């Protein structure tokens, strides 16, 4: 299995949905898109075998992948959409305040920006208590973490993403969903997966503040400027919720979610008597 299929416990979520339980998921026949992006769904810089299936979140991403020459592509929806389906019957907790996701870096690229300026903007904008969720990379930076703690915000981290099949956290998305359902609003300084997850989980979205810069950011698909041009209705301190819900449903591919038996077959997990074609 490609190591990126384990990021954020995606393979584990899909295995649970497919009825395979909580154990180690079998090998997936293909590459699962591991985050929302504006390109072909695959992360730049990762090695991929030619002609292996790409399992993408949305029809829009499939069309972009096709336009750059990828042919073996299938839309399955985001793993988070499968998690929502599994946990749809849970009672809704009382919501309060905002969960805020500062744009983050990772091992290979660091973020450059003024966290103090962002903190001031958050204080001026958010009407209730604020939870700041730092990505594991920034959460391990004591200097950055303490800035948000000293500002009086509750600071959390959903966990480690995992890397090269090590330290995979199967409960990452479950913890994220738990946090999102506690909050009335979800916000960030960039339009990212977390915003779409928040909307899907029932939060009111906002995207505002300095988007910061990522070291050696790949401009191939247009970057932040294109995101703001293409999705202007999702930017601002107040966003029209019905519009955000409609866009989120498309970007997460909710309507492309497979039934369990069909998902098992697609991912190479079906036994011969389960095959549907």
Is a pLDDT exceeding 80 seen at residue 74?
yes
What is the average pLDDT score of the chain? 89
3-state per-residue secondary structure call for 231-243: CHHHCECCCCHHH
Taking residues 40-62, report their average pLDDT: 83
pLDDT per position as a tens digit, 167-188: 688 999 999 999 999 999 999 9
Nearest C-alpha neighbor of 269 from the set 87, 43, 76, 59 = 76
Is a pLDDT exceeding 60 seen at residue 36?
yes
The per-residue b/e assignment along 6-32, b for 16 or more CB within 10 angstroms, e otherwise, is: bbbbbbbbbbbbbebeeeebeebebbb
Q: Which residues contact 228 (CB under 8 A, 6 or more apart)?
A: 235
In this prediction, residue 200 has a pLDDT band, given cuts at 50, 70 and 90, of very high
Is a pLDDT exceeding 60 seen at residue 229?
yes
Mapped onto helix, strand or coil, the DSSP state of residue 101 is: strand
**217, two tokens:** 């950011």
Is a pLDDT exceeding 80 seen at residue 274?
no
Q: Which residues contact 143 (CB under 8 A, 6 or more apart)?
A: none
The Cα 89–Cα 101 span in angstroms is 26
CB 116 within 8 A of CB 150: no
Which segments of 126-157 does DSSP mark as H helices, in order?
Answer: 136-139, 142-150
CATH 3.40.50 fits 98-251, yes or no: yes
**146, two tokens:** 């303490």
**89, two tokens:** 């019957």
Output DSSP code: residue 271: -
Taking residues 204-209, report their average pLDDT: 97
pLDDT on residue 220: 67
| Domain ranges for the chain | 3-87+254-274, 98-251
The Cα 57–Cα 251 span in angstroms is 7
First to last CA, the chain: 24
CB 183 within 8 A of CB 124: no
pLDDT per position as a tens digit, 79-138: 999 999 999 999 989 999 999 999 876 565 567 889 999 999 999 999 889 999 998 788
How far CA 57 is from CA of 40, 62, 115, 157, 251, in Å, comes to 10, 8, 31, 24, 7
In this prediction, residue 277 has a pLDDT band, given cuts at 50, 70 and 90, of very low
pLDDT on residue 223: 81
């Amino acid at each position: 299995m490609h190591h990126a299929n384990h990021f954020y416990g995606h393979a584990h979520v899909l295995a649970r949905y497919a009825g395979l339980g909580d154990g180690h998921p079998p090998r997936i026949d293909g590459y699962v898109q591991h985050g929302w992006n504006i390109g072909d769904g695959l992360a730049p810089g990762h090695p991929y075998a030619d002609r292996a299936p790409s399992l993408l979140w949305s029809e829009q991403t499939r069309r972009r992948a096709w336009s750059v020459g990828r042919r073996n592509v299938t839309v399955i929806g985001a793993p988070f959409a499968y998690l929502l389906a599994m946990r749809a019957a849970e009672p809704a907790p009382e919501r309060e305040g905002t969960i805020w996701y500062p744009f983050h870096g990772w091992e290979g690229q660091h973020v450059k920006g003024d966290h103090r300026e962002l903190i001031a903007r958050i204080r001026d904008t958010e009407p209730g208590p604020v939870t700041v969720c730092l990505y594991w990379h920034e959460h391990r930076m004591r200097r950055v973490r303490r800035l948000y703690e000293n500002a009086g915000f509750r600071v959390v981290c959903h966990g480690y993403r995992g890397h090269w099949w090590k330290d995979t956290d199967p409960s990452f998305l479950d913890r994220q969903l738990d946090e999102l359902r506690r909050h009335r609003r979800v916000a960030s300084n960039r339009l990212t997966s977390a915003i779409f997850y928040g909307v899907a989980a029932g939060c009111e979205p906002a995207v505002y503040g300095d988007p910061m810069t990522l070291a050696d950011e790949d401009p191939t698909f247009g970057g932040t400027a294109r995101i703001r041009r293409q999705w202007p209705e999702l930017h601002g301190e107040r966003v029209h919720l019905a519009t955000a819900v409609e866009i989120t449903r498309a970007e997460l591919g909710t309507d492309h979610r497979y039934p369990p038996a069909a998902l098992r077959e697609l991912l190479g997990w079906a036994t011969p008597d389960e095959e549907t074609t």
